Amino acid sequence: MTQRPPDPSAADPSVADSPTLLPPAISVEALTKRFDTPGGVVTAVDSVAFRVARGSVTGLLGGNGAGKTTTISMLLGVLVPTAGRVEILGVDMARHRHAVLARMNFSSPYVELPHRLTVQENLTVYGHLYGLTCVKKRVRDLADQLDLARFLNRPSGGLSAGQKTRVALAKALLNEPEVLLLDEPTASLDPDTADWIRRYLEAYRARTGATILLASHNMPEVERLCDDVLVMRRGRVVDQGAPSDLLARYGRATLEEVFLDIARAGTGPVGRDGLDGSTGGPHP
Amino acid sequence: MVLRYWYLLRGSWPRLLELAYWPTVQMILWGYINQFMATSSGWVAQGGGVLVSAVLLWDVLFRGQLGVSISFLEEMWSRNLGHLFVSPLRPGEWLLSLMAMSLLRTLLGVIPAALLALPFFGYSVFGLGLPLLLFFANLILMGWSLGLVIIALILRYGMGAEGLAWIVTFMLAPVSAVYYPVSVLPGWLQAVAWALPSAHVFEGLRAVVYDGAMRWDHLAWAVGLNALYMAAAVGVFLYGFHRARVRGALLQTGE
């Protein structure tokens, strides 16, 4: 019988700073990425602009190929934009990304940690890379919080999907990031583990005031976690707003229905205003 | 990063064994060739252990290059570049860790073979003294330069270029004059040979073994060429790394 981790909602209340005087956690202007392919130039992200307020949880929605992962890669600095500008915590990522990388982190089930190293070894290595002073203690604390203590000496490659996700989350939280980018954090997890991860993230945000940008295909998850939602389609942001605003705007009961309306109709209300360059379309 | 590669190395005894395996086999093979040739060749007879010294130093060059390339390939095989470069790790810091691991792997591979030469053939390469250290430093530097260029090529062409890690250094063996003097080569190949630090090192080795003299001119050439090639290799690597960031290869490249 697997012992459940401690209840994450028991964490400390919010200590977030007042965000009003500070630049947004994430600021993106005219961000564009084109790839040269054998079939010609493909525009994966097309003049995207948005801001993510400090301490907020923002969902990045879109179908496969909408440009979510490409956008996140550019935010992280591992992909150079063709044009446009990204600022994280007020720092220009094109020129000074190393000044801010220690204050952010990333987790994705599709980018696994080295399989041959044990969980402890992987977390230790990344703890050092993020410049932690007490790596052992931090790893031990995270292992307790994320119920990883039993797996610390096991090779990362031998873990189940749920265990790997928790290890990836532990790696992403090693430096207690101010900006956390998550690519489908609960993909392929059972409902119990997925719920636990969501509660952990809620508690983490409340305790640290961190900003979270979350790419997800799980609409109930987005409705539950996110203060704001960006909807991408064909490389563009076609709509943005609080989940409740989107539901009201589209006259729908769930975010999943809104998502389907946008994906199938091709345009949303904002798109018809010209953000995606279209001139109209069926309103849901 | 050195810790990361050390964890990987210490966790697998076959990897540790493999480090010393080929240098030892090569040393034994060339040691017996050396012994046989000494009975029929005045040139080899005069330079006791010249072939053993040559093969051990050749392995420094090869292991130096392979050490850089393999540590890089470990990241490719485990698709770990994405995680590494969203961390504050700088490319230059990563390069230093690759070089540090290459040094460690080379020492772990070559020292056991060098020690075994004593009971097998009664020959100690350490008898070369200070010149051995200078030859070692120059060859491993050249290996690192080759390793960096190979990394840039793999970043550009993907895992299809992985095989370069095992063959590129051997392409230079004929013109490095490992087991014979540069003068044996045809004129146009001699020009190529003198453009390589390795040829100067092996000429220097033979000067120490046969004449008991250190050829400082060869050493100066080796150091100068290494400085030039290392600067070029770092430039090629950084350009290859930047292009990988432009193409999105850091997140995608792997098996």
Contacts of A77 in chain B (CB under 8 A): 85-86, 245
Contacts of B248 in chain A (CB under 8 A): 35, 70, 73, 78-79
- Smallest CA–CA separation between A98 and chain B, in Å? 5
- The chain B residue lying nearest A131, using CA atoms, is B88
Q: Is A101 on the interface with B (CB under 8 A)?
A: yes
Q: Is A152 on the interface with B (CB under 8 A)?
A: no
CATH 3.40.50.10320 corresponds to the domain A22-110+178-272:
no
Strand order through the sheet with A26-37: A40-52, A26-37, A83-88, A91-92
pTM over 0.95: no
Contacts of A42 in chain B (CB under 8 A): none
- The chain B residue lying nearest A78, using CA atoms, is B245
What does the pLDDT read at residue A109? 81
Domain boundaries in chain B? 2-252
Q: Is A120 on the interface with B (CB under 8 A)?
A: no
- Smallest CA–CA separation between A273 and chain B, in Å? 32
Q: Is A124 on the interface with B (CB under 8 A)?
A: yes
Contact A126 B8 (CB under 8 A): no
Residue from the list A73, A112, A116 with its beta carbon closest to the beta carbon of B11: A116
Contacts of A124 in chain B (CB under 8 A): 3
Contact B12 A111 (CB under 8 A): no
Domain boundaries in chain A? 22-110+178-272
ipTM, two decimals:
0.80
- The chain A residue lying nearest B78, using CA atoms, is A114
Contact A105 B86 (CB under 8 A): yes
The total of other beta-carbon atoms located within 10 Å of residue B173's CB is: 14
Residue from the list A98, A126, A130 with its beta carbon closest to the beta carbon of B90: A98
The per-residue pLDDT for range A49-88, each reduced to its tens digit, is: 999 999 999 999 988 888 999 999 999 999 999 999 999 9
Provide the chain A residues 28-57 that lie in CB contact (below 8 A) with chain B.
Answer: 35
Contacts of A171 in chain B (CB under 8 A): 83
- Smallest CA–CA separation between B33 and chain A, in Å? 40
What does the pLDDT read at residue A276? 35
DSSP string, chain B: -HHHHHHHHHT-HHHHHHHHHHHHHHHHHHHHHHHHHHHH-HHHHHSTTHHHHHHHHHHHHHHHHHHHHHHHHHHHHTT-HHHHTTTT--HHHHHHHHHHHHHHHHHHHHHHHHHHHHHHHS--GGGG-HHHHHHHHHHHHHHHHHHHHHHHHHHHHGGGGTTHHHHHHHHTHHHHTSSS-GGGS-HHHHHHHTTSHHHHHHHHHHIIIIIS---HHHHHHHHHHHHHHHHHHHHHHHHHHHHHHHHTHHHH---
What does the pLDDT read at residue B48? 66
pLDDT one digit per residue (tens) for chain A, 284 residues: 344 444 444 444 344 444 456 789 999 999 999 999 888 999 999 999 999 999 999 999 988 888 999 999 999 999 999 999 999 999 999 999 998 999 999 998 878 888 889 999 999 999 999 999 999 999 999 999 888 999 999 999 889 888 888 899 999 999 999 999 999 888 878 888 889 889 999 999 999 999 999 998 888 899 999 999 999 999 999 999 999 999 998 999 888 888 888 877 654 444 433 333 332 332 32
Q: Is A112 on the interface with B (CB under 8 A)?
A: yes
Contact B4 A114 (CB under 8 A): yes
Backbone torsion region of residue B87, taken as left when φ is above 0, otherwise alpha when ψ lies between -120 and 50, otherwise beta: beta
Contacts of B251 in chain A (CB under 8 A): 73, 78-79, 111
- Smallest CA–CA separation between A246 and chain B, in Å? 32
- The chain B residue lying nearest A35, using CA atoms, is B247
